[in-house]
Structure 1
Amino acid sequence: MQAHFMAIAIGFILDRAIGDPPNWPHPVRWIGTLISKCTAVLNNGRARVLKGAGMLFIVVFIVTAIVLAIVWSAYQLHIAVGIVVEAILIAIGLAQKSLRDAALDVYEPLAADDLEEARKKLSWIVGRDTDTLQEGGIARGAIETVSENTADGITSPLFWAFLFGAPGLWMYKAVNTLDSMIGYKDDRYREFGKFSARADDVLNFIPARITGFLILVFMKNEGGIPLGKRFVGWSKDARNHPSPNSGFLEAATAWQLGVTLGGKSTYRGTESVRPEIGPGLRPLQAADIKLTIVQMHMASFAFWMLMTIIGVIFYAIA
């Protein structure tokens, strides 16, 4: 158990400080290749829901089994080797630095009034159309991405790492990658990706809510709204979001910053309107992107500390 906690701590720090090296052959790409090949074979004909469930099982089993074998073999060599290998696998599965860098790539040109470059960099991290967005719309896209991915890319993987080590983290990453690739409600994936989308919702359910609560408690209250009112607004707005989990992140961010998120976006020319969330005390601006990055770091650290404390208490009692 002590080695397990040490591996998580080292992995968390490595990801924060170093992140993924450039041109790194990231395992998520390999998972994506496996998903693409399975999809090409299975996503056709009848019984697509069952075929999608079968692919979910196959991908998760393969990924988890490989990571489990690597971690087990490393610990068999020596406990220090096991800690280092597990820490590296955990670090690779987290996204603190990459998420920060992606947001800063949008913030820097936006703060310099280079809207064209800011739109271009935003298009790399969001699916919406960015060609006509102004400062507020660009900032909203970056803020929503950082907020949502604080759970998807950091605290949810950490949650499953604390429960099951690096194999648990990569089990989550496999499901999350499946959801991002086939968890759509269009004609092509509505049936085939149904189980993957539901599995991702289940795995994110607890960590998303804990993370949103930590944002409310630890992030600086930029809007000057009392905690009780922010908590009520957060709880209400989170349930208006189309995602059962992302709303708890975005609503927490909106209420802490005192701004409005959600609203109108376009995807390949098709307009999409989501309910607006947050108090809307002021318009969004470039500086809010940096505030959201700080929020991501603070919430991630608080989550890691909370899980560590709970784990130590549980270990002491057991």
Structure 2
Amino acid sequence: MLKWTAAALLLGFFIDLLLGDPRWLYHPVRIIGNSISFLEKRLRKWFPKTQKGERRAGALLVLLICMGSGLIPFCLLYTGYKIHVLLGFALETFFCYQMLATRSLKDESMRVYRELEKKDLPKARYAVSMIVGRDTAELTEEGVTKATVETIAENTSDGIIAPLFYMAIGGPALMFLYKGINTMDSMVGYKNEKYLNFGRYAAKLDDIANYIPARISAWLMIAGAYMAGMDGKNAKKIFKRDRYKHASPNSAQTEAVMAGALDIQLAGNAYYFGKLYEKPAIGDRLREVEDRDICRANRLLYISAALGTFVFAGIRLLAVGVLGLL
């Protein structure tokens, strides 16, 4: 299994660029998400509605989802390779393809861009609501653009670089385990009354899982900014200055690079579930935000993703070579 992972990583990445996420294909993350919803309902019934009870229920959710999201793909892959090496390789490639979101992130964000270009703000707000967690009903045109650029920046790490990183060091099973953790955080990791205790461990585990990948993503994006002819120098400057201007230790890492590369200001106050959350701005307002920034952000996304793919595939090949010599 070890020697095929680098090839599966490269091929899976290119299949994702080619096909994206077809709506007719049932995505594994939906299975993980449905499992989280199912378990949340039952665990909330089984455990007392106290701070300690909710935290214990949330801890059990984390344990069950991590076991399922890691063990199931591992068993399927192990069985596939036992039957025939080509079946195992095909499964490994398919799993990699399914866990990456490069094409889908670009497609969904470009839907927002097209509505903005048509000056249809209500439809642009609806389109961006499909890819962000904040309230979008009152967003201005600039607000819609900023929200889209920010989610491209954050998901460059969460949706592409982090899964590639975990596949490179642990194969598809670790990649799936990461997606299980990340999906839990996106569903129950909120700091509101409903999830403050229940989602505590899911949020903390996601912070840990993304700590290294977020920083690798930021440096890949800085390199990508230079390659794309963007303001790489400012990307590095804003990254070093603003990368901790977020409640999460990881989210601002890539947002800071994106803001610097585009010479715009991101973040700031936002509404979630009807409540205003005050957040510091990231970057300097060297120019006004414009619709085309979504296209520029996607260009940086693609270059950074390609860089990450080749870097991680190379590291995997090097590791296999070293292990083969031992």
TM beyond 0.5:
yes
Q: After the TM superposition, which of the residue ranges 247-256 and 260-269 deviates more from structure 2?
A: 260-269
Give the direction of change, closer, same or farther, for the CA distance of 1:131–1:189 in structure 2 (3 Å limit). closer
Q: Does 1:174 align with 2:211?
A: no
Kindly report which structure 2 residues correspond to 1:85-104, keeping only aligned pairs within 5 A, or say none.
85-104=91-110
Matched with 1:312 is 317
Match of 2:66 among 60, 71, 94: 60
Matched with 2:260 is 255
Report the AA paired with residue 312 of structure 1. Answer: L
The whole-number CA distance in structure 1 between the counterparts of 2:201 and 2:216 is: 24
Report the AA paired with residue 243 of structure 2. Answer: A
Asked if the contact 2:207–2:249 (Cα under 8 Å) also holds between the matched residues in 1, the reply is yes
Q: Does 1:138 align with 2:144?
A: yes
Asked if the contact 1:260–1:277 (Cα under 8 Å) also holds between the matched residues in 2, the reply is yes
> What is the CA RMSD across the aligned residues, in angstroms?
1.8
Q: Does 1:21 align with 2:22?
A: yes
Matched with 2:291 is 286
Report the AA paired with residue 270 of structure 2. Answer: S
The whole-number CA distance in structure 2 between the counterparts of 1:26 and 1:226 is: 35
Aligned length: 317
Asked if the contact 1:7–1:86 (Cα under 8 Å) also holds between the matched residues in 2, the reply is yes
Aligned-residue offset at 1:240:
1.3
1:79-121 Cα offsets, whole Å, 9 max, x none, are 1111111110111111111111100000011123222221221
Asked if the contact 1:222–1:258 (Cα under 8 Å) also holds between the matched residues in 2, the reply is no
Give the direction of change, closer, same or farther, for the CA distance of 1:310–1:226 in structure 2 (3 Å limit). closer
The whole-number CA distance in structure 2 between the counterparts of 1:146 and 1:74 is: 34
1:117-172 Cα offsets, whole Å, 9 max, x none, are 21221122222232332221111010011110111111111111111111111101
Q: After the TM superposition, which of the residue ranges 168-177 and 20-29 deviates more from structure 2?
A: 20-29
Report the AA paired with residue 223 of structure 2. Answer: V
Q: After the TM superposition, which of the residue ranges 176-185 and 17-26 deviates more from structure 2?
A: 17-26
The whole-number CA distance in structure 1 between the counterparts of 2:195 and 2:129 is: 23
Matched with 1:9 is 10
Report the AA paired with residue 115 of structure 2. Answer: P
Aligned-residue offset at 1:244:
0.8
Gaps of 5+ in 2: none
Aligned-residue offset at 1:272:
2.0
Asked if the contact 1:221–1:257 (Cα under 8 Å) also holds between the matched residues in 2, the reply is no
Give the direction of change, closer, same or farther, for the CA distance of 1:37–1:230 in structure 2 (3 Å limit). closer
Give the direction of change, closer, same or farther, for the CA distance of 1:221–1:253 in structure 2 (3 Å limit). farther
The two structures have a TM-score, normalised by structure 2, of: 0.92
Q: After the TM superposition, which of the residue ranges 72-81 and 283-292 deviates more from structure 2?
A: 72-81
Give the direction of change, closer, same or farther, for the CA distance of 1:36–1:132 in structure 2 (3 Å limit). closer
Match of 1:69 among 65, 75, 80: 75
Asked if the contact 2:7–2:313 (Cα under 8 Å) also holds between the matched residues in 1, the reply is no
1:276-306 Cα offsets, whole Å, 9 max, x none, are 0112101111000000011111111111111
Match of 2:153 among 147, 150, 154: 147
What percent identity do the matched residue pairs reach?
A: 32
Q: Does 1:123 align with 2:124?
A: no
Aligned-residue offset at 1:237:
0.3
Match of 2:276 among 263, 266, 271: 271
Give the direction of change, closer, same or farther, for the CA distance of 1:225–1:303 in structure 2 (3 Å limit). closer
Report the AA paired with residue 145 of structure 1. Answer: T
Question: Residue 274 of structure 1 aligns to a residue in which SS?
Answer: coil
Q: Does 1:235 align with 2:240?
A: yes
The two structures have a TM-score, normalised by structure 1, of: 0.94
The whole-number CA distance in structure 2 between the counterparts of 1:54 and 1:219 is: 42
The whole-number CA distance in structure 2 between the counterparts of 1:120 and 1:200 is: 28
Q: Does 1:80 align with 2:109?
A: no
